[in-house]
Amino acid sequence: MQQYDFIALRSFVAVVEVGSFKGAAEFLQVSTAAISRRVSGLEADMGVKLLNRTTRQIDLTQAGRQFYQDVIEIFISLEQACEKVQLGTQTIKGTLRIAAPLSFGISKLSPALPEFMLRYPQIDVQLQLSDGMTDLVADGIDVAIRIGKLQDSSLVASHICDIERVFCASADYIQRFGEPMTLSALAGHNWLQYSLVNTKEAWRIVDGKPLNLSGSLVSNNGDVLKDAMIRGLGITLLPKFIVEQALTQGVLQEILVAHKPEPLGLFALRPSRKYTPSKVKVLIDFLREITEHKED
């Protein structure tokens, strides 16, 4: 197979997985015209139309769908071959693109990341922190760390650990407004809402009815809510790793201890392919190592 054929295959796969010629061009760091030319050349060489192009979207033809699956198998075989060589020399290397939630990334992953990189000095890490839902394929992410229930069945998930959640408030807030002793009593308090959480969780069903909570602050980041609690603004429920230092220092105190909801799962997600590169495997093992017994 000639070199330009391999480049054309990479371009075709990128267009399919990202969903556009422009996105594929950005991912491969070439021009959109180059991507279009490569894919068109591939179709011309094969004598088969692989993509249906419209102004709004790109869809695979029936032949294109089958060809895509076969090409993916080729890339998987190439990755396996590279991994065998690396394992034979006891060297794991390459660029590892990680996406993680902002608070977890800063408080847990950031302090541990240098140790991982010292352990695997030939792995280059690109870390993207965001509380939004990252598109692994479109953003070229090798592994995404997510907390909570998973909904995207197209991704492969590896469970890392469970994360305890706690209800908290400051002593000042409790002194001024009283301490709620039951879940239903939360309705009478200023509830600081995490905007990305599922508001239909089981703990919010009290006596068969949904618990309607409201307050003066909504945020998509747990550290923002923690800081508001410390200043006595209200009450909320957060993963323990976000508030554990404030609890230890006594600036926050745990409440509703008898009503803790189920812990959240911490997962490492990767694109749905049969083969998992060694650089991803060692990261998953490392995450399990650094979180072991940390949430007890």
Asked if residue 124 and residue 59 are part of one domain, the reply reads no
Unique residue bearing structure tokens 């009290």? 206
Q: Are residues 128 and 248 both part of a single domain?
A: no
User: How far is the C-alpha of 192 from the C-alpha of 37, rounded, in Å?
Assistant: 52
Q: Which range is least confidently modeled, 58-62, 100-104, 262-266?
A: 58-62
Instruction: Look up the pTM and report it.
Output: 0.68
Q: Pick the more confident residue, 206 or 77.
A: 206
Whether 210 and 283 map to the same domain: the answer is no
Picking from 56, 87, 118, the residue at the C-terminal end of a domain is: 87
- The answer to whether residues 20 and 14 touch, using CB atoms and an 8 Å cutoff, is no
Residue 63 maps to which CATH number?
A: 1.10.10.10
Q: Report the phi/psi class of residue 93: left, alpha or beta, with left for phi > 0 and alpha for psi in -120 to 50.
A: beta
The residue segments making up the domain with residue 200 are 165-259
Average pLDDT over residues 131-156: 77
Same domain, 97 and 73: no
Regarding whether 32 and 169 lie in a shared domain, the answer is: no
CATH number at residue 195: 3.40.190.10
Query: Residues near 21 by Cβ (< 8 Å), separated by ≥ 6?
Result: 15, 32, 35, 36, 39, 58
* Residue 236 located in a structural domain: yes
Return the pLDDT at 162.
92
252 and 177 within one domain:
yes
> Is there a contact between 213 and 187 (Cβ–Cβ < 8 Å)?
yes
Residues 159, 169 within the same domain: no
Instruction: Give a yes or no: residue 155 inside a domain.
Output: yes
pLDDT the model gives residue 295: 45
Number of domains, the chain = 3
Q: Hey, what are 102's tokens?
A: 């902002």
Residues 79 and 118 placed together within one structural domain of the fold: no
Residues 11-32: tens digit of each pLDDT:
888 888 777 888 888 878 888 8
Q: How much is the mean pLDDT over the chain? A: 85
The answer to whether residues 255 and 191 belong to one domain is yes
**Final residue of a structural domain among 87, 103, 133:** 87
